[in-house]
Amino acid sequence: MSHETLLNRGLDYYKPTMSQHHFEHNPDTEVTFTFKNRGEQRLADYLTVEDLQARFDAIQERGFTDDELDYYAELKHPDGTAAFSTNYLNYLRGNELPRVNVAFNEDQDDIAMTATGDAPLVTFWETVIMSEVNEMYFENYLVKHNVDPAALYAEGDRRLTQKIEQLRERPDIKFSEFGTRRHFSYKWQRYVTNRLRRECPDNFVGTSNVALSEEIGYQPIGTFAHEMPMIYAGIADAKSEDIRQSHNQFLQDWRNQYGDNLNVALTDTFGTDFFFEDFTPEQAREWNALRHDSGDPIEFGEKTIAFYKANGIDPATKTIVFSDGLNLDKIIELQDHFGGRINTTYGWGTTLTNDLGIKPLNIVMKATHVTLPNGAEADLVKLSDNKGKHTGPEAQIKRYQTIFAATGKLAAKDVVVC
């Protein structure tokens, strides 16, 4: 039975896993998430503040259903233990999501959205808001431009068929569908996922989408996102503690909570060079995989292999999850380059679930501010390997660049790219 609701269909699995971690470690930390449109399309040309506010108010009022939380209660980790504790699920049953605030920003000349609330609850809005903005935007786009939906879906199906034909010739390529945040629609995402499941069983590993995972009977895919080390650093900043050390403290806390079950480390929150300096040899042996999400993927892969070899670890026992702006040509290129040298898998999003001939949106919803129970607060920062993806006030970004500067160990210049 599928529990498809406006809330559940917009959730990627890393939302409840991170929410549970917040619940166990920082339940009373208040976090603000801020929507940002990185693309050229103007949302206000197709969406209204009133319609968006009404949609998010309806989702907030409804919240999680008992059936949805019963599904979470049934999920198991690979080791057979419950993925979510009874205490955590009771917390979700007893608390409503914070309200989303939708407004028109005169400076940006476009619609702006924020959500502020306790970390375990407000975190859910990230993927839900992005999913629903896409849903409403493209629905209105088709009407405004008098696009024939049947012709559009036929073109999307033709492109998907081409991908499937190529994938069936490459059973060595393993991927998960990561398209919730920037899909064309949930209906199209479901159609794509079901075709992939049926026609590419050697390639398709699963989906990050919670509702779709339940529908197709797969374990949902996901671990944690940038918000976790960002929030840990912000808490340390607000407490005047060691900001640089907070990154490894998060990794330790995450592993202590989830062990080998959610054992993929995201590497680029404060720059990959810093990550490799901060990631200890013991952690390198314990964590199963690293996820690439910005910067040159081949350079990252070579750096990863060099890091493992330098620490006496056979790269063939480890995995890289590539997840940054992938298309099938890039996936094939990466697989040809790294196949047989290190295990690879791919988190494939926008060009899988929003490839119908209309330009996709380029939107994000990032954690931007923390406030502690005592009122201490801090702006949050992300230092991507792509400078255009840095997040935070300019002065705070520069400050973090100094704090998280790598000293040169395993720097890019020391890695030979084959």
Strand partners, 321: 291, 345
Q: Kindly tell me the burial class for residue 306, based on how many C-beta atoms sit within 10 Å of its own C-beta (0-12, 13-18, 19 or more).
A: middle
Tokens linked to 218:
């797969």
Q: Is residue 165 part of a domain?
A: yes
- Cα torsion for 136, 137, 141, 147, to the nearest 10°? -60
Q: Are 368 and 392 in contact (CB under 8 A)?
A: yes
Supply the range of the domain harboring residue 267: 8-414
* Cα-based distances in Å from 169 to 172, 202, 205, 341: 9, 10, 16, 20
Residue 407: pLDDT band with limits 50, 70, 90: confident
How far apart are the C-alpha atoms of 69 and 287, rounded to whole Å? 29
Q: Is residue 3 part of a domain?
A: no
Q: Tell me what the mean pLDDT of segment 184-212 comes to.
A: 97
- CATH number, domain with residue 338: 3.20.140.10
Q: Is residue 190 part of a domain?
A: yes
Q: Is residue 2 part of a domain?
A: no
User: Is it the case that residue 409 has pLDDT exceeding 80?
Assistant: no
> In this predicted model, what pLDDT tens digit does every residue of 312-339 receive, in sequence order?
999 999 999 999 999 999 999 999 999 9
| Percentage, residues of the chain above pLDDT 90 | 93
Number of folded domains that form the chain: 1
Q: Tell me what the mean pLDDT of segment 73-77 comes to.
A: 96
- Cα torsion for 165, 170, 174, 176, to the nearest 10°? -10
Q: Is residue 184 part of a domain?
A: yes
Residue scoring higher pLDDT (63 or 7): 63
Nearest to 362 by CA among 163, 137, 139, 157: 137
Q: Is residue 178 part of a domain?
A: yes
User: Is it the case that residue 370 has pLDDT exceeding 70?
Assistant: yes
How far apart are the C-alpha atoms of 259 and 253, rounded to whole Å? 10
Amino acid at 136: M
> In this predicted model, what pLDDT tens digit does every residue of 260-314 receive, in sequence order?
999 999 999 999 999 999 999 999 999 999 999 999 999 999 999 999 999 999 9
Amino acid at 315: P
The residue ranges of DSSP E strands in 65-218, in sequence order, are 100-105, 110-118, 175-177, 204-207
Please tell me the pTM assigned to this model.
0.95
| Entry field: residues in the chain | 418
Nearest to 180 by CA among 206, 158, 154: 206
> Out of 229-243, 270-284, 399-413, which region has the weakest mean confidence (pLDDT)?
399-413
